[in-house]
């Protein structure tokens, strides 16, 4: 369903994606893990055509999105819902208006039909009583769920989730996890979940992909990863500060950078 081939993206001197090749199967949940700043959000933005890669190909439902014109790209985008890392709701609009937005922008449905769809989507994320609320009146977890209702407003075949449970308490995070799993099971939505939450990824994903230094370090079922012996993989999954992945510069490097030579 989503096939990514040798994807590359640089920002100035920074190689963010350095040849990512992966497949996200139709109707399955694929979780993408990786260091902060490792290019996960960039990857999702490339999938929706919001960021242009420097090289590589992306096939979505058999179409190479890099060869599509704006019209073709729009048609593909309509089949993809995205939950942004920071919910990205419009704070001057009600919850209901936020969810209605993509429907109004992409269809010519009557207002009363739109209203019904909005109610259904809010019901699906457990927020049916909150249509008239402003986003600022909701908790972070509830805002994420509004973002999710908006992401599924057009009945997408694919939903991309950027840190769906980031910054949430364990119970709110579990609620989001359950929603992702339910949407996948009930509606057969192909799901790509970028997350820091390793436990959640292992629980909800059919396939887990670990990105490291702009490449796929390992991919496999949660069981494959749990039993992997690669020390890099072990360090990442165990969240060890010490190991092959060095987050902080060495003392000498730090001194050199402070002193400027
Ligand atoms: N528009 C941009 N211009 C310049 N640099 C960018 C831009 N977008 C992202 N970057 C850089 O690319 C790198 C990857 O960013 P990205 O947001 O994809 O990381 P991430 O894996 O999603 O991180 P996190 O887990 O913290 O959300 C970062 O170093 C970031 O500063
Ligand atoms: Mg990110």
- pLDDT, one tens digit per residue, over 203-233 is 999 999 999 999 999 999 999 999 999 988 8
Residue 246: the pLDDT is 62
pTM of the full structure: 0.88
Report the C-alpha gap between 255 and 259 in whole angstroms.
6
Tell me which residue has its CA closest to atom 31 in ligand 1.
Answer: 37
Mean pLDDT of the chain: 90
Residue 140: the pLDDT is 87
Please report, to the nearest 10 degrees, the dihedral formed by the alpha carbons of residues 181, 53, 156, 135 taken in order: 80
**H or E element that contains 218:** strand 215-220
How many degrees, rounded to 5, is the angle at CA 180 between CA 175 and CA 182? Answer: 90
Report the C-alpha gap between 257 and 261 in whole angstroms.
6
Ligand 1 pocket, 167 CB below 6 A?
no
pLDDT tens for residues 137-172? 998 889 999 999 999 999 999 999 999 988 888 888
- What residues have their beta carbon closer than 5 A to ion ligand 2? 41
One-character DSSP codes across 133-156: S-GGGS-HHHHHHHHHHHHTTT--
Ligand 1 pocket, 214 CB below 6 A?
no
- Residue ranges, the chain, pLDDT below 50: none
Tell me which residue has its CA closest to atom 17 in ligand 1.
Answer: 41
Ligand 1 pocket, 41 CB below 6 A?
yes
Which of 31, 34, 38, 52, when mutated, tests ligand 1's pocket best, judged by the most ligand atoms within 8 Å of its CB? 38
In the beta sheet, which residues pair with residue 194?
32, 162
In the reported structure, the alpha carbon of residue 196 is separated from the centroid of ligand 2 by a whole-number distance in angstroms of: 9
Ligand 1 pocket, 156 CB below 6 A?
no
* Strand bridging mode 80-83 / 158-162: parallel
Instruction: With beta carbons less than 8 A apart as the criterion, state whether 176 and 145 touch.
Output: yes
Ligand 1 pocket, 11 CB below 6 A?
yes
């Amino acid at each position: 369903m989503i096939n990514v081939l040798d994807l590359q993206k640089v920002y100035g001197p920074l190689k963010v994606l350095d040849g990512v090749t992966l497949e996200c199967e139709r109707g399955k949940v694929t979780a993408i893990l990786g260091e902060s700043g490792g290019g996960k959000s960039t990857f999702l933005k490339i999938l929706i055509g919001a960021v242009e890669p420097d090289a590589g190909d992306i096939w979505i439902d058999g179409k190479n999105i890099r060869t599509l014109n704006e019209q073709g790209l729009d048609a593909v985008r309509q089949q993809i819902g995205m939950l942004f890392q920071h919910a990205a709701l419009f704070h001057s609009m009600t919850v209901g208006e936020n969810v209605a937005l993509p429907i109004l922008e992409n269809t010519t449905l009557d207002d009363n039909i739109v209203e019904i769809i909005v109610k259904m989507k809010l019901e699906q994320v457990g927020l049916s009583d909150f249509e008239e609320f402003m986003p600022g009146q909701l908790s972070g977890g509830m805002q994420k769920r509004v973002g999710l209702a908006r992401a599924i407003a057009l009945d997408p075949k694919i939903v991309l989730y950027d840190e769906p449970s980031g910054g949430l308490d364990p119970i709110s995070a579990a609620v989001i996890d359950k929603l992702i799993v339910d949407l996948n099971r009930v509606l057969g939505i192909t799901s790509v979940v970028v997350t820091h939450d390793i436990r959640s990824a292992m629980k909800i994903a059919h396939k887990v992909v670990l990105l490291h230094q702009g490449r796929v370090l390992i991919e496999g079922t949660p069981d494959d990863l749990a039993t992997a012996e690669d020390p890099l993989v072990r360090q990442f999954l165990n969240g060890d500060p010490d190991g092959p992945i060095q987050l902080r510069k060495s003392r000498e490097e730090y001194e050199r950078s402070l002193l400027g030579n």
